[in-house]
Amino acid sequence: EEAGRVARLVLGPVLALGAAERHRLLDTVETWFAAGGSAEEAGRLLYCHANTVRYRLRKVEALTGRSLSAPQTVAELGLAVRAVRLEAAEE
């Protein structure tokens, strides 16, 4: 229950997108984390150009009003994405 609240608080505008766009952005953020914050590595893992990864990350920033250059924001987004994944796994 708390995970869902955190996810909605941090990622509300992203979660309100259509399913395809929502999944694309969440997958990009999650892969960017797995790649240690490297857009190049995330692009390789996602089979897209690093600039595409950067564009998607900027879109997440614009939608959420949170900057991925701030450590606290990165932690919040990481927690929120994980919460979304946990919530989906419980359904």
* Residue 78, amino acid: G
Q: Is the pLDDT of residue 91 over 80?
A: no
Cα distances (angstroms) measured from residue 51 to each of 15, 28, 46, 60, 68: 23, 12, 12, 14, 15
Sequence ranges of the domains in the chain: 2-90
Alpha helices in the chain (DSSP H): 2-15, 19-34, 39-46, 50-64, 71-90
Confidence of residue 79 (pLDDT cuts 50, 70, 90): very high
pLDDT digits 0-9 by tens, 14-35: 999 999 999 999 999 999 999 9
pLDDT of residue 35: 97
CB atoms closer than 10 angstroms to residue 43: 20
CATH topology of domain 2-90: Arc Repressor Mutant, subunit A (1.10.10)
The total number of residues written for the chain in this structure = 91
